[in-house]
Amino acid sequence: MSHKSILVTGGAGYIGSHVVRQLGEQGEDIIVLDNLSTGFKEAVTSGKLIIGDTGDDALLEKVFAKNDIDTVMHFAAHTVVPESVSDPLKYYRNNTASSRTLLEHAHKAGVKHVVFSSTAAVYGVPETGKASETTPTRPINPYGTSKLMTEWMLRDLSQAGGPSYVALRYFNVAGCEPGGRIGQSTPKATLLVKVACEAAVGRRPQVYVYGTDYPTPDGTGLRDYIHVEDLASAHVDSLTYLRNGGKPATLNCGYGHGYSVREVLEAVARVNGKPLNIVEEARRLGDPPELVAEVAKIHKVLGWQPKYDDLDTIVRTSLAWERKIAAGDKSAYWAA
C-alpha cells in the first residue's frame, strides 16, 4: 500500500534525524521542517528539508497546501530544563504555542495521524521513583509543563474529530546510530552520556556528579537510559499502529530499569580505556533520586521490541561519534 507524506518537525535534530533515517529506509515520503537552531542539515538523510519554524503560519499554510501530508511527527522543541526555568516564555512560545499552530494547520489539512515527542519530565518527581502512564503528571519545570500542555491539546483535538495520535514520553535518550552515519552533535549538551563522552575525548575538562547521598545503591541518581535507535523504532511502530486504526495512546519510552550516574561514568571509562576526571557536587534542586519507566503498555500496544538495551552498547556508539567530532571529521557535521 502506498502512503501519503510524513511531515517531521525537528527532523534535523538528534532524535528526529534517527527517525527520519529509519523512515527513509522503509521508503516513506518524508518532508523535514527544521529551523536548524540546534539541528544540522547534514543529519537529514532522507526526504526534503524545509528550513523554517513550526510556529510560522504562512509557511505551514504553504507546506500543507503543496504536499499531501497525512501524518505529522512532531519533535521540534527546546529541551534544556535549566534554561526553561530561567526563560520560561521561550519554552511556552516554542514548545506549546508553536505546537498549537502546527496542530491547527494539520487539522485543517486533514492530517490523520500525529506522533508526538513528549517527555518523562511530565511526571515531575514520582513518589516511588517509577512512573507508569497512570502516574500523576506533576511537572516541576516549564519544559515538562510545555510538553504536557501539547499532550492535552492532542487529546482534546482528537476528541473533537482531529487526528489520532501517539504521545511518547521519553526517558533518558542516549547513544548514536551504530553505523556512525548520524549522531548527537547538539551544542552545549546536558545529557549525561554525551557529556561524559565529551569529557572522555577531551572536549570537556571534567564531569560533574550532582548528589552522592541519594537513597540509591551507590548514592547517585538512578535513571532509565534508552538507546536512540530503539526510541526511533518506537516512532516507526507508532506510525504502523496508527495506520492500522490505533486509538490515541500515551506511552512511556524506556527499558524499565535504571543505571546510576556512577555506573554510567564507569561504563564510559571502561569503554574508553581510561578514567574520567569526576567532580562531585551537591544535589541539584528538583532532581529525583530515581526515575525509571514502567514499560508494559508500550510493549502491549505497539509490540515494540528494543534491540540495544545494553549500557556498554549505548556508550560505545556515543563515544564513537564523539571521537569523530574531536577529530574534526566533517561527517560528524559539528565540524562542518
pLDDT band at 284 (very low <50, low <70, confident <90, very high): confident
278 in a domain, yes or no?
Answer: yes
Check whether residue 285 and residue 149 sit in a common domain. Answer: no
- Please, are residues 16 and 230 in contact by the beta-carbon 8 Å criterion? no
Using alpha carbons only, what angle is made at residue 112 by residues 182 and 6, rounded to the nearest 5 degrees? 25
Q: Nearest-CA neighbor of 161 among 103, 87, 93, 238?
A: 103
Region 24-46 average pLDDT: 96
In a domain, 186, yes or no: no
Regarding whether 266 and 204 lie in a shared domain, the answer is yes
Proportion of the chain above pLDDT 90, given as a percent: 91
Q: Which domain CATH number covers 18? A: 3.40.50.720
| 57-69 pLDDT, tens digit each | 999 999 999 999 9
What sign for the dihedral angle of Cα 271, 227, 320, 178? positive
pLDDT in tens, 304-314: 999 999 999 99
Same domain membership, residue 140 and residue 56: yes
Q: Which domain holds residue 199?
A: 192-224+256-291+306-332
Note the pLDDT of residue 224. 97
Domain annotation covers residue 184: no
User: Could you say which of 91, 143, 214, 255 is catalytic?
Assistant: 143
Answer yes or no: do 144 and 200 share one domain: no
Residue 187 lies in a domain: no
| Statement: residue 54 has pLDDT above 50 | yes
Percentages of the chain per state (helix, strand, coil), in multiples of 5 = 40, 20, 40
Q: At 222, which helix (H) or strand (E)?
A: strand 222-223
The pLDDT, as a whole number, for residue 189 is 83
Residues 60 and 168 in one domain: yes
SS3 string, 17-31, reads: HHHHHHHHHCCCCEE
The residue among 82 and 99 whose pLDDT is bigger is 99
Do 232 and 148 fall into the same domain? Answer: yes
Residue 97, all three cell numbers: 504555542
What are the Cα distances from residue 266, in Å, to 204, 244, 328? 17, 43, 26
Residue whose grid cell is 532509565: 224
> What secondary structure letter does DSSP report for 140?
S
Q: 273 and 126 in one domain?
A: no
The answer to whether residue 180 is domain-embedded is no
Residue 65 resides in a domain: yes
pLDDT at 186: 82
Closest C-alpha among 223, 204, 229 to residue 279: 204
Q: How confident is the model at residue 335 (pLDDT cuts 50, 70, 90)?
A: low
Task: Give the tens place of pLDDT for each residue, 229-257.
Answer: 999 999 999 999 999 999 999 999 999 99
Mean pLDDT of 281-286: 85
Contact 131, 88 (CB under 8 A): no
Residues 267 and 150 in one domain: no
CA distances from residue 62 to 66, 110, 123, 304, 330 in whole angstroms, order as listed: 6, 14, 36, 35, 33
Q: What is the mean pLDDT of residues 132-138?
A: 97
**Per the structure, how many domains does the chain have?**
2
Share of the chain above pLDDT 70, in %: 99
- Average predicted confidence (pLDDT) for the chain: 95
**Do residues 200 and 166 both lie within one domain?**
no
Q: Please indicate, yes or no, whether residues 145 and 286 belong to a single structural domain of this protein.
A: no
Evaluate whether 234 touches 302 at the Cβ level (below 8 Å). Answer: yes
For range 175-195, the mean pLDDT? 91
Return the minimum-mean-pLDDT range out of 49-53, 115-119, 219-223, 287-291.
287-291
CA distance 310 to 30: 31
Assess whether 72 and 208 both reside in one domain: no
Q: Given pLDDT bands bounded at 50, 70 and 90, which one contains residue 52?
A: very high
DSSP state of 133: T
pLDDT above 50 for 270: yes
Nearest to 116 by CA among 69, 81, 150, 158: 150
pTM: 0.95
Within 10 angstroms of residue 57's Cβ, the number of other Cβ atoms is 12
Domain assignment of residue 10, yes or no: yes
Lookup: cell for 12: 534535523
DSSP bridge partners of 49: 32
Is 91 designated active site?
Answer: no
Cα-based angle 159, 163, 168 (whole degrees, multiple of 5): 95
Flag whether pLDDT at 1 surpasses 70. Answer: no
Strands 290-293 and 222-223: parallel
In a domain, 297, yes or no: no
Q: Are residues 99 and 199 in the same domain?
A: no
Q: Which pLDDT band holds residue 187 (cuts at 50, 70, 90)?
A: confident
CA-CA distance, 275 to 280, in Å (whole number)? 15
Which pLDDT score, from 0 to 100, does residue 314 have? 97
CB atoms inside a 10 Å sphere around CB 138:
14
